[in-house]
Amino acid sequence: MAKKATRESYGAALVEYGADKSVIVLDADLSKSTKTEMFKKAYPERFINMGIAESNMMSVAAGLASTGKTVFASSFAMFAAGRAFEQIRNSISYPNLNVKIGATHAGISVGEDGATHQCLEDIALMRTLPNMVIINPADDIEAMQCVKAAIDHKGPVYMRFGRLAVEDINAPDYKFELGKGVTLSEGNDVTIIATGLMVGEALKAKDMLKNDGINARVINIHTIKPIDEEIIAKAAKETGAIVTCEEHYIMGGLGSAVCEVVCNTCPVPVKIIGTDRYGKSGKPADLMAEYGLTAENIVKNAKEAISKKA
């Protein structure tokens, strides 16, 4: 099966939906890597290279949005969420402006770029902001559609895209719904809730667990904020144990969001798969294995969660 990085999907989607003349794309001198160069070639009059000045880029995006434009501000996740946090907070989220942040190269799978570029805290940062919507697509099909959903949504959106090519997990007729989780497989023994590229690992883990006689429910949470509380509460009630999987710190990300829902609705054992340490330079596959972001570790944690069921 062909693989495609979701950052490639981001660039392609900007071109597909960029015919809308209200759409403007800004980039912090990384258009070849963020793939916004596709939009630049198609609509050069609505593309602005802001240089290596992410904080200023977010302020300019806010200004343009205040005039009625739909503005995409693009950079690596580390710089978009980290360096420009104050401007996102005060100039975009607080006034609830129509700025869409396209954050690429998120997570440990950035690989050789190392710890300084492997953003593992961006979801946690963005979750603290009122008005902010957070989307973390799992594949090309979902990434393409999430850009359109971001355009249709009035208000700030943070979209998280990866550098590593991934296989499609969704069918061609898939329909993205903002704020709605997707049940990819049914099961009553344990629920695996995943986001981003970890959805593929969750599906592999489901097959491995089935070989051991364990039926796992797999849920793709592409919208981390607002999160689909109904699908999570239902899974907690019906399976009695949950494992969450994310390419992010275990603090403040998907796992934390799921635990908040579970504690308020149906308390059950929850195991969070992520990391609590900085990344480092290495091959993406090697790093994913070292940091436990694998189907094998999901299986291990699923069995532990089941053993703690009431």
Q: What is the mean pLDDT of residues 211-232?
A: 98
Entry pTM: 0.97
pLDDT over threshold 80, residue 235: yes
Radius of gyration of the chain (CA): 19
CB 208 within 8 A of CB 295: yes
Residue 8 known to be catalytic: no
Share of the chain above pLDDT 90, in %: 99
Give per-residue pLDDT as tens, 59-99.
999 999 999 999 999 999 999 999 999 999 999 999 999 99
pLDDT at residue 70, as a whole number? 98
The number of C-alpha atoms within 13 Å of 13 and in the hemisphere containing its C-beta is 25
pLDDT over threshold 90, residue 143: yes
Domain with CATH 3.40.50.920 in the chain: 182-307
Query: Active-site residue among 54, 142, 201, 246?
Result: 54
C-alpha span between 309 and 228 (Å, rounded) = 23
The class that CATH gives domain 182-307 is: alpha beta
Consecutive H or E run containing 175: none
Residue 94 structure tokens: 């607080």
Question: In 3D, which of 193, 184, 206 has the Cα closest to residue 270?
Answer: 193
Residue 131 structure tokens: 């008005």
Give per-residue pLDDT as tens, 265-277.
999 999 999 999 9
Of the pLDDT bands very low, low, confident and very high (cuts 50, 70, 90), residue 2 is confident
Give per-residue pLDDT as tens, 15-39.
999 999 999 999 999 999 999 999 9
What's the mean per-residue pLDDT of the chain?
97
Number of residues that make up the chain? 310
pLDDT at residue 310, as a whole number? 78
CB 110 within 8 A of CB 280: no
Give per-residue pLDDT as tens, 152-192.
999 999 999 999 999 999 999 999 999 999 999 999 999 99
CATH code assigned to 3-167: 3.40.50.970
Domain with CATH 3.40.50.970 in the chain: 3-167
pLDDT over threshold 70, residue 1: no
